[in-house]
Amino acid sequence: MRANIIRIGNSQGIRIPKVLLEQSHLGPDVELEVEDEKIVIRSASRPRQGWGEKFQLMAESGDDRMIDENLSSQTEWDKDEWEW
């Protein structure tokens, strides 16, 4: 499918046909990258997606405890220097 590059304010862009958006499942946020003289459009990554469910599973399995229990106690620096 061909498209024309059009002026959009001080930038330029293309109109992406609805059928291509539906087939690619692109959302409102995308990432653009140049690879081998091509512009690649990808759905924007959401690095923290699903964290809530994962933390819930950790809590249910009892795997949400401190790795080093000594880290939970205050040090002298914490008592003297840190402003809470």
For the question of whether the overall pTM of this predicted structure is more than 0.85, the answer is: no
**Residue reference for tokens 């140049």:** 34
Tens of pLDDT, residues 36-68: 999 999 998 888 888 999 999 998 998 887 776
Which residues share a beta bridge with 74? none
Q: Residue ranges of the domains in the chain?
A: 26-61
Start-to-end CA span in the chain (Å): 60
Q: List CB contacts of 16: < 8 A, sequence separation 6 or more.
A: 3, 26
Tens of pLDDT, residues 60-80: 998 887 776 666 567 777 778
